[in-house]
Structure 1
Amino acid sequence: MTIHRKKQRTPRKPTEKSDLFDGLPDDLVVCILSKLSSSASSPSDFINVLITCKRLNQLGLHQVVLSKAGPRAFAVKAKNWSEYAHRFLKRCVNAGNVEACYILGMIRFYCLQSRGSGASLMAKAAIKSHAPALYSLSVIQFNGSGGSKNDKDLRAGVALCARAAFLGHIDALRELGHCLQDGYGVHRNITEGRRLLVQANARELASVLRMVTLSSPSSRDSRCLLTCHARRHQLQQHHPPITGSGFSLLSDFGCNVPAPEAHPANRFLTEWFGSGCGLLGHGLRLCSHGGCGRPETRPHEFRRCSICNLVNYCSRACQALDWKLRHKAECAPIEQWIDGDGDGDNTDDEGADINA
């Protein structure tokens, strides 16, 4: 009797599902990550992608991706500043990211008090026609920041400011207008200075209209923002003022518009010195314009309001903006006080000219 034994079948291994993500070419993933880094609204948008998996972490730190990252991807809060954040910014600088050059330059110059490397990074961004870097360097030249009073170079400040204004920087355009009106570092030309101030306000209004159109296309909302001076109280009820750059801004021609969003570098400076992360030296003050954040690098570096002598500004643009923003309602003449250690030209009559 023959016994037929059945062959035992070896169990088949379940077929592994193919991972479509792993099948994507690196070039395509890098392109997608570059778009993400350039449009990120906060650092967490980009960081969350890097920690998703090993491949995204490797490709997310690719030179191309880091070079395309936008300013909001570097908008780290002062309280979260760490050596890791510093290294990440340096890595982006090495990748050729202009925004990283400017932001790290501002942090080093004003917060970490590494004046030479900070100015060098800002200059590196300015060479690549980065308008905020050009304007910041002009402010440094106007004030002689990081040096003495004798280190001021008004002509260099005007030249840098003019270049930034040509690239569309509104604060630089406003600063240049005031310089021409006052004959500060340039031959006085009141008519041309006034024309530049009109142009600065026109660009300001145009940028607000674009912002309103993107956020709420209704023309009614646009009309609500561009109200006359008589309706200022009504506007503030719809858009209550907040600290920093959120105040409603009264332009030179009677229109209420929201103040533009401060650059991440200025927000970092404001948080750094406002929260106690960084301490100002004895006798040093911050610029009184809430959206600026620049500190003095030596006593009596910034100019004071000539009427009340209670507020100080790093630039004529900041003084003009803060006057329209809040100081006009607060400023009142007081008895002039004498400071034997002060710089004579810092208390000037610019406030009266701008306030008129």
Structure 2
Amino acid sequence: MRTRRGNTYPVVGAPATNKRKRARSSSVLYNLFDVLPDDIVLTILVKLASTAESPADFLAALVTCKRFNDLGLNPVVLSQASAETFAVTKWSDFFSRFIQRCSDAGNVEACYTLGMIQFYAFHNRRTGAALMAKAAIRSHAPALYSLAIIQFNGSGGSKNIKDLIGGVTLCARAAFFGHIDALRELGHCLKDGYGIGKNVVEGQRFLLEANARELAAICLTSSPALMSGRRLNLPPATNSNSNSPLASEFGFSITPPKPHPANRFLVKWYGDRSPDPAYRICSYGGCGRPETRMHEFRRCSVCGVMNYCSRGCQARDWTIGHNRNCRPMLRFPIVNAG
């Protein structure tokens, strides 16, 4: 039977619930967590930080309780945070302090992300280059490749300070760790003799290796037919002028790779602002690098419309759609009025 308040009378013969006993059991659980050694909690937090797929995954753990907040900011945990932990698109004081703290703890992803932001977004060239160099010393392939782009383009200075030999050296180091864009850049440098002795055969080998790694990434992510062992009828290459065609030219539907959080920040940063029209942004949508001086980037030699900071960005933009939109530009002969 129910009362006016909606409560029911106790049933005769039913076992009575002991609220005090339930409260005691919950307090025991809290006490067990309190007596858990810090090493075990740190191991859990390190695993969480290293596998976080968004900043919310890690920050949600920090606000769980005071102990998680204290141990989560331990340098051991911050040094192992994944790149996606810093995947924010809006700069704030909290993010600035957090990523600086991770960088001081020795996190290479934090060093590289903060270095890219300082170099390209806030124009702190010396600080940004030093942070990227700190990550490059720890064999961080994207940092090595970004420093190579800076050396090739002479970013942050005049055109006369380009260091082609330094760019090739950094590019070769990044290629050693399997960086696809670095492999492709190094292959073109060898074929053209740009900053290194010309070697067409060796350059072609690097280009083929870059295409093979790109194809392997496609097979692992977006081609279940290849993984199951079924045969695919591949159409012939559509670009007969290329000695080393890309995977998209063999009929594969290529999904563009997910850009690094540093590049995603730059894309959002300059997308929300109206940059100086004299300084162009890299035409590859996943890059976000701006020019640091006028006419720093190279233009597409066919259409003359798209601008790229590197051959790696040009190749990626070609595979995701520029190969269908690229048209030769009209060239008008100069008529002598006399």
Q: Same fold (TM over 0.5)?
A: yes
**2:321 aligns with one of 326, 338, 355:** 326
- 3-state SS in 1 of match to 2:178: coil
Which residue of the partner structure matches residue 255 of structure 1?
252
Answer whether contact 2:112 2:131 (CA < 8 A) is retained: yes
Give identity over the alignment, percent.
59
**2:100 aligns with one of 90, 95, 104:** 90
* Structure 1 counterpart of 2:177, one-letter code: L
Q: Note the C-alpha offset of 1:186.
A: 1.2
* Structure 1 counterpart of 2:196, one-letter code: V
CA gap of 1:200–1:56, structure 2 versus 1, over 3 A, is same
Q: Note the C-alpha offset of 1:290.
A: 1.4
Aligned mates of 2:116, 2:331 — CA distance in 1: 34
Does residue 228 of structure 1 match 2:234? yes
Structure 2 residue runs without a partner (length 5+)? 1-19, 239-245, 333-338
CA gap of 1:226–1:175, structure 2 versus 1, over 3 A, is farther
Q: Note the C-alpha offset of 1:184.
A: 1.3
Matches within 5 A, 1:191-206: 191-206=201-216
Aligned mates of 1:113, 1:313 — CA distance in 2: 19
The alignment yields a C-alpha RMSD, in angstroms, of 2.7
Which residue of the partner structure matches residue 76 of structure 2?
64
Answer whether contact 1:229 1:256 (CA < 8 A) is retained: no
Aligned mates of 1:264, 1:225 — CA distance in 2: 36
Does residue 313 of structure 1 match 2:323? no
Structure 1 residue runs without a partner (length 5+)? 1-11, 233-248, 338-356
Does residue 271 of structure 1 match 2:273? no
Which residue of the partner structure matches residue 59 of structure 2?
47
CA gap of 1:225–1:46, structure 2 versus 1, over 3 A, is farther
Q: Note the C-alpha offset of 1:212.
A: 4.4
Answer whether contact 2:151 2:166 (CA < 8 A) is retained: yes
Q: Note the C-alpha offset of 1:209.
A: 2.5
Aligned mates of 1:23, 1:295 — CA distance in 2: 52
Does residue 175 of structure 1 match 2:185? yes
Aligned mates of 2:221, 2:87 — CA distance in 1: 20
Aligned mates of 1:262, 1:223 — CA distance in 2: 29
More displaced 10-residue stretch of structure 1: 48-57 or 281-290: 281-290
Aligned mates of 1:139, 1:64 — CA distance in 2: 32
Aligned mates of 2:231, 2:80 — CA distance in 1: 33
Q: Note the C-alpha offset of 1:29.
A: 0.4
Aligned mates of 1:306, 1:178 — CA distance in 2: 15
Q: Deviations over 1:90-126 (max 9, x none)?
A: 0001111010000000010001111110000000000
Q: Deviations over 1:308-338 (max 9, x none)?
A: 211111011222222232222222222359x
- 3-state SS in 2 of match to 1:257: coil
Which residue of the partner structure matches residue 190 of structure 1?
200
CA gap of 1:182–1:255, structure 2 versus 1, over 3 A, is farther
Aligned mates of 2:265, 2:290 — CA distance in 1: 12
Aligned mates of 2:318, 2:98 — CA distance in 1: 38
Matched positions, count = 303
**1:296 aligns with one of 278, 283, 291:** 291
* Structure 1 counterpart of 2:71, one-letter code: L
Q: Deviations over 1:220-240 (max 9, x none)?
A: 7778997735899xxxxxxxx
- 3-state SS in 2 of match to 1:256: coil
Answer whether contact 1:105 1:120 (CA < 8 A) is retained: yes
Answer whether contact 1:226 1:255 (CA < 8 A) is retained: no
Does residue 156 of structure 1 match 2:197? no
Answer whether contact 1:250 1:325 (CA < 8 A) is retained: no
